[in-house]
Amino acid sequence: MLKYSIVIPIKRFTYFWSKEGHIDQRPNTHLHDNIIRFFEISWKTHDKHFKKSDIDCIYFIISSEDKPYFTQFVSKHIHNVRTKIIIEDHMLSPMYNFTSHRKQMLLKLLIWKYIKTEYYLILDDDIISLKPFGYNDLFSATNNKKIRYAAEPSIESQPHAWEGSRDLLKIKKRTNIYKLKNTISITPEILITSVVKDMMEYLEHEYGNVHVLYNELVKLSWTEYVLYWLYLRYIDKKGVSYYENDSLTSLDTNLTLYEDNYRDIIKKNITEHIRPFMIIQSNVYEYNIKDLKNALNLK
């Protein structure tokens, strides 16, 4: 039986982001504990919808500080599927001065060393499931040989990340990356394990060792998916042909910022369940555990 893997990074507490585009200074409370939020909200929806026999393993990436707290929830809530907890510092030394966000991006790539399947699905802890999901759902509804991905029309939403990723991969600056269309977007996404392996080995070879590479990664703007997409397009050459635009979420109804009518948006997604997943950002203060459980009718 063909199986896939799932990767979910989790951080117990995070900072909040306002709709106006700046840091929300309000402090975390017990209603913003992302580990509790994951198990009482996200996992309840996954537990209902995942075809567990199709999953080889769910890999949770967490800090060593959060592991004892996190572990007690795993045994209580997750059954009939294999799990593995990976400590961040076991993959990436704390000696490197990565921001929390950038560190998580790199960990989503370094996890390839643990993956035993051809593909792995990356989820965040604030993503919920809306409909049944199994191995076959990794592939496009219109072409079951093509892997699904969420596309953006161009690179205009984050040009600095595309330019930085181009430079990290040592793609010639005269290469016109600005012409790229239907470029890869945001989590959730599905990565090909062997391609991630090849890309990380390519980068290490280009920079001589991981120490030099990681110091470059600290300096430049990039994302895990932009690096991956450019590697597929310009170094792997045939890679982007593995994919077809068929998003795992409804990009126009994800809750990435605070919306006054968020309850109606959640209800619409649950009722229509056109896509298998939905993002309800954990860095929005108003999306706390109590209110989300009410909106989702979860006990």
Q: Which long-range contacts (CB under 8 A, 24 or more apart) does 272-275 make?
A: 273/130, 273/131, 274/250, 275/130, 275/131, 275/247, 275/248, 275/249, 275/250
CATH class of 4-295: alpha beta
User: Which amino acid, one-letter code, is at 124?
Assistant: D
What pLDDT score was predicted for residue 1?
A: 84
Contact 217, 161 (CB under 8 A): no
Residues 6+ apart with CB under 8 A from 172: none
Query: What are φ and ψ of residue 114, in 5° steps?
Result: -100, -20
Give me the residues of the chain with pLDDT under 70, please. Answer: none
What pLDDT score was predicted for residue 237?
A: 80
Q: How many residues does the chain have?
A: 299
* Bridging pattern class, strands 151-152 and 147-149: unpaired
State the burial class of residue 216 (Cβ atoms within 10 Å of its Cβ: 0-12, 13-18, 19+): middle
CA distance 234 to 23: 36
Written as six digits, the tokens of 53 are: 């026999």
Question: DSSP readout, 147-174?
Answer: EEE-EESSSTTSHHHHHHHHHHTT--TT
Report how far Cα 255 is from the mean position of its chain's Cα atoms: 15
